[in-house]
Amino acid sequence: MVTMKKTTAGLALAAVMALTACGSNNNEESGSSASPSGSASSEAPASASETSSATPEAPKEPVAIEFWYGLGGKLGENMQALIDKFNSSQQEVVVKPVVQGDYSETEKKLQAAIASGTVPAAVLSSNVDWARKGYYASLDELIASSAEFDKDDVIPTFLEQGKVDGKQYFLPMYGTTQVMYYRKDALEKAGLKPEDLTTWEALAKAAEMMTVKDGGKTKFYGWEPMWGAGNMVDAVLGKGGKLLSDDGKTVLIDSPEWVDTWELFRKWIHDDQIMRIHSGGQGWEYWYKTIDDVMKGQAAGYTGSSGDQGDLDFGIVGAMEQPGWEGVGAGKPVAEAIMAGIPAKASPEQQEAAFKWFQFFMSAENTAFWSMNTGYIAVRQSAQEDPAFVEFSKTNPQITIPLKQAAHASAPFLDPTGGKINDALKVAADNVQIKNMPAAEALKAAKETAQRELDRLNK
């Protein structure tokens, strides 16, 4: 991956960490036998054996827990910074980071760990189906017994996403939504401004203007959507498409809103060759290849996570919200929380330790720090009032784009089949984006698979 210049976000990281470095709390008891007033005792002097028995107890060993997460690049660096800060701030818990390749790898390894009975205490992953099966611990008692956890301050839509059948199984670590990143020089050269690209139709025309071909081969792409179903689903939602009927019994992913939208993406990628998809590779390799194309001047822009901001040089790129559709209105991309949970097989002591770590990460100061340095959305409402965040946003306006988009975003789809519908969409997206299959054909096959799984559930 291309080496990025140190961004203002990176400078903020150093500044905030320097200002917030905490000393260790002293939890040891003094064990002194003197009276509170310090006056002499009226009792006879203690014998040698009695004096020996009053020796202070040895400090209790901290509870060591593993925290599994799949974050690389600047995200991984910022996560490590907060882990170090937490470990230095108290003597009760030590978090040991275990880094995975990506979110999917974390879930796969967790599945194996659950089967073996040896689990981490904390994991940056969530699975509704697994929660129902008892693989995750309910957090309700830990939340109720905590004097520090103000759940009313957590953004409601994010907190709700962690509930399963009325119980809180997961906590939101940060919010995310896919936004648009563009090269300032590419738009300027084409005589365009971000406000000209508020619809997908306008973006496609701009991409065609900015694309450079040589002998029929594209040398510079007008845009790069991110691999996977996510970006195309966002575009469908903006057109009014739905995944399921209102009664939850019919899969709707072959409706005109879906077919027309996905067919446009197929055309832009394969027929017009004004857009490109990077796919495959290890972990986040495809993601960073997409970012590199823009940063190296091989593409005018891309659609990526709000969390990419820590990897970008905003002297070169700018950020804008996802477009809508002509005659429909603003886009309605998904805004979702990235959740953390506690495996049920962790010991009670480890579960309490994991919850302390989650509370620390979710504090107003730390969730604001995470937002400033990554671009992800802070999960506490009070984080927007954090002095450092307020000051940072004045000189880094891109940090406000995810927040603005989240105001008119769609809630994430909760797959009632335990992931089977989402799996069908992944296959369909690959067929369209990589194999150049007509959208109608790809989505029809996906709908049949998804409907079969939904019917099995509803029997």
Burial 326-349 (b: 16+ CB within 10 A, else e): eeeebbbbbbbbbbbbbbbbbeee
pLDDT single digits (tens) 67-76: 999 998 889 9
The reply to whether 231 and 319 lie within a common domain is yes
Residue 194 domain flag: yes
The reply to whether 197 and 140 lie within a common domain is no
pLDDT single digits (tens) 230-268: 999 999 999 999 999 999 999 999 999 999 999 999 999
> Does 47 have pLDDT greater than 50?
no
Mean pLDDT of 45-61: 55
pLDDT of 91: 96
pLDDT of 307: 86
pLDDT of 56: 61
Residue 253 domain flag: yes
The reply to whether 268 and 355 lie within a common domain is no
The reply to whether 347 and 225 lie within a common domain is no
Strands (E) in 134-233, as ranges, are 163-164, 167-168, 170-183, 212-214, 217-220
- Ordered alpha helix ranges (H), 47-102: 48-53, 73-89
Confidence of residue 49 (pLDDT cuts 50, 70, 90): very low
The DSSP secondary structure of 403-444, one letter per residue, reads HHHHTTPBPPP--TTSSHHHHHHHHHHHHHHTT---HHHHHH
Half-sphere exposure at residue 315, Cβ-oriented, CA atoms within 13 angstroms: 6
Q: How far does Cα 443 stand from its chain's mean position?
A: 27
pLDDT of 375: 87
Mean of per-residue pLDDT scores for the chain = 88
Mean pLDDT of 175-184: 96
Q: Could you give the CA distance from residue 302 to residue 183 in angstroms, rounded to a whole number?
A: 9
> Does 452 have pLDDT greater than 70?
yes
> Does 2 have pLDDT greater than 70?
no
Final residue of a structural domain among 406, 425, 449:
406
Residue 125 domain flag: yes
Residue 9 domain flag: no
Least confident segment among 26-40, 282-296, 322-336, 385-399: 26-40
pLDDT of 58: 63
pLDDT of 67: 98
The reply to whether 122 and 193 lie within a common domain is no
| CATH code for the domain of 284 | 3.40.190.10
- Ordered alpha helix ranges (H), 211-345: 229-238, 256-266, 285-295
Q: Which residue has the higher pLDDT, 355 or 13?
A: 355
The reply to whether 84 and 143 lie within a common domain is yes
Residue 32 domain flag: no
Final residue of a structural domain among 384, 406, 428:
406
Residue 84 domain flag: yes
The reply to whether 390 and 430 lie within a common domain is no
Which DSSP state fits 350?
Answer: H
Residue 3 domain flag: no
Which DSSP state fits 321?
Answer: P
- Count of domains in the chain? 2
pLDDT of 156: 87
The reply to whether 383 and 305 lie within a common domain is no
Q: Could you give the CA distance from residue 366 to residue 376 in angstroms, rounded to a whole number?
A: 12
The reply to whether 255 and 376 lie within a common domain is no
Using a CB cutoff of 8 Å and minimum separation of 24, what contacts does 141-149 make? Answer: 142/351, 142/352, 142/355, 143/168, 146/355, 146/359, 148/359, 149/359, 149/362
The reply to whether 348 and 445 lie within a common domain is no
Q: Could you give the CA distance from residue 424 to residue 447 in angstroms, rounded to a whole number?
A: 8
Residue 343 domain flag: yes
Least confident segment among 21-30, 130-139, 292-301, 340-349: 21-30
The reply to whether 172 and 183 lie within a common domain is no
> Does 32 have pLDDT greater than 50?
no
Range of the domain at 206: 178-334+410-458
- Residue labelled with tokens 């060993």: 61
The reply to whether 311 and 324 lie within a common domain is yes
> Does 12 have pLDDT greater than 60?
no
Q: Could you give the CA distance from residue 286 to residue 227 in angstroms, rounded to a whole number?
A: 8
Amino acid 357 reads W
Structure tokens that stand for 31 in this block: 């064990």
Burial 134-165 (b: 16+ CB within 10 A, else e): ebbbbbeebbeeeeebbeeebbebbbebbebe
Tell me the chain's radius of gyration from C-alpha atoms.
26
CB 446 within 8 A of CB 423: no
